[in-house]
Amino acid sequence: MHNNDENLKIISIDDIEKSSNKTLFYEYDGEITELEDCKIKAELELKSLGEYIEVKGTIEGKIKLECDRCLSKYDYDLDFTLDEMYAKNSLYEEYGQELELKSGQFVTDLNGAKEIDIYDLLYQSVILQLPNKKVCGINCNEGLFVSDDEMKIPDERMEVFKNIKIE
């Protein structure tokens, strides 16, 4: 299934269940409009595993970020794998107890919903891949250091300290 149509960003659980081997392949090639200049290509596999839906795949693309140091805009490459699990029914009601998750494993509770919002999944996945510290390059020094010439310029606010006598 290739997707650029607004209606195809939502996948029905029934469509997954009725597909061959209960597996549906999904491609997205487009923008994440909530993010500045973010274009991605995603190839996903949605598979029904009884009470769960597994979504695996790869996401590649570019996003425009602003450097935390010099504030210039730069392109950041995206290239990561996706591995998500969805519980078809409410985990709390279904099991009545906490579900222990293994390291790196996440389960999204659909609460009985009959569809998965793939666009929202892609948006959240891209957000989670962004670096905490956005730096345009290894040689970006803007804002980190004060040059020797800047140190020699007298600050008028400091004039009051010239007249203090220390005994």
Buried b (16+ CB within 10 A) or exposed e, 110-144: beeeeebebbebbbebbeeeeeeeeebeeeeeeee
Of all residues in the chain, the percent with pLDDT exceeding 90 is 38
pLDDT for 96 beyond 50: no
Using one digit for the tens of pLDDT, what is the confidence trace for 31-79?
Answer: 999 998 999 999 999 998 888 888 999 999 999 999 988 888 999 999 9
Whether the predicted model's global pTM rises above the 0.85 cut = no
Using one digit for the tens of pLDDT, what is the confidence trace for 145-166?
Answer: 555 565 566 777 777 777 788 8
Q: How large is the C-alpha radius of gyration of the chain?
A: 25
Where are the domains positioned within the chain?
2-163
Other CB atoms within 10 A of residue 109 CB: 16
